[in-house]
Amino acid sequence: MKRDFLRLGDFSAEEYRALFRRARELKADRRQRTLEGRSLLLLFEKASTRTRISFEAAIGQLGGHAIALPMAESQVPRGETLEDTARVASRYVDAIMFRTHGDDRLQSLARAATVPVINGLSDGGHPVQVLADLFTVQEKLGSIEGKTIAFVGDGASNMALSFLEAAPIFGFTLRLAAPEGYRPEGARVVAPSEAVQGADVVVTDVWISMGQEKEAAARRKAFTGYCLDEKLLARAARHVIVLHCLPAHRGEEISAGVLDGPQSAVLDEAENRLHVQKALLEKLIL
């Protein structure tokens, strides 16, 4: 029976421990060709840099190949349903990565597909990115369990939502700092200074995501005081690492000094997309 990876709750804590062990092995040895002859379809309704490159490189290094298809170049804009696209693609490839808008679209495609479907980003979450983030935390700090992670920014963003989902699975404390109007329902929210105080990890993300460009002025005003700069970071633990999924706007959600500074792990975080996704592709396809 096929398994999808649409949200972090799709796997157990024990499965994630095994996934991270395998990711470490694959990072140490890039010569393993476990997916020889396998194919991965990459469907894009949203623009991408890291997601496209990391997934193409991941299956390529494992011996398979990727087919990247921007949705605008498919038959969907001409009226073909997502379901028909999924059913046909399932006859050609071994897995599908879908980067989309609403989670209803992600779920519709996954229900129709007979091969595993991976959420490459949706409005409701960015699970592959948060997996890479947590793998980086483990790599840098030795463990995830018991750590305090502060997320400063848009608490209703897909990144914040995935961190909220991850906290009870991975056993870390999440402190969320978000202005009014940008907070997830039911979550406890604190000021940025309280969130960062003594934190082991500080995470931020862009204030204006794809599709929110018309809200740019209002969002910048709402997020005044939420920039992760040197003064705010000084409240964190001395061993703190800084994460940002990129692309970043220096001087907006994060200062250049923090993003490029000694506590920043953003390039390791970006690289780790490759290794974690290799392990994920193996798990789902094999």
* 277 has pLDDT over 80: yes
pLDDT of residue 111: 98
pLDDT tens sequence across 241-251:
999 999 999 99
Q: Is 205 a residue of the active site?
A: yes
* 210 has pLDDT over 80: no
pLDDT tens sequence across 116-125:
999 999 999 9
Q: Is 129 a residue of the active site?
A: yes
Q: Exactly one of 61, 129, 138, 277 is catalytic; which is it?
A: 129
Report residue 176: phi and psi, to 5°: -110, 125
* 212 has pLDDT over 90: no
CB distance 245 to 230 below 8 Å: no
**CB under 8 Å to 77, separation ≥6 — which residues?**
71
Q: Is 94 a residue of the active site?
A: no
**Cα atoms in the Cβ-side hemisphere of radius 13 Å centred on 52:** 12
Domains present along the chain, CATH in parentheses:
8-126+273-285 (3.40.50.1370), 128-270 (3.40.50.1370)
CB distance 240 to 263 below 8 Å: yes
pLDDT tens sequence across 71-108:
999 999 999 999 999 999 999 999 999 999 999 999 99
Residue 223: what residue type?
A: F
Q: Exactly one of 205, 219, 275, 277 is catalytic; which is it?
A: 205
pLDDT of residue 208: 87
Q: Exactly one of 52, 126, 244, 275 is catalytic; which is it?
A: 126
pLDDT of residue 213: 83
* 211 has pLDDT over 80: no
Q: Exactly one of 7, 38, 244, 273 is catalytic; which is it?
A: 273
Per-residue pLDDT band at 142 (split at 50, 70, 90): very high
Within 10 angstroms of residue 11's Cβ, the number of other Cβ atoms is 18
Tokens of 8: 């972090």
* Residue predicted with more confidence, 137 or 1: 137
Q: Exactly one of 99, 219, 244, 275 is catalytic; which is it?
A: 99
pLDDT of residue 215: 86
Q: Is 244 a residue of the active site?
A: no
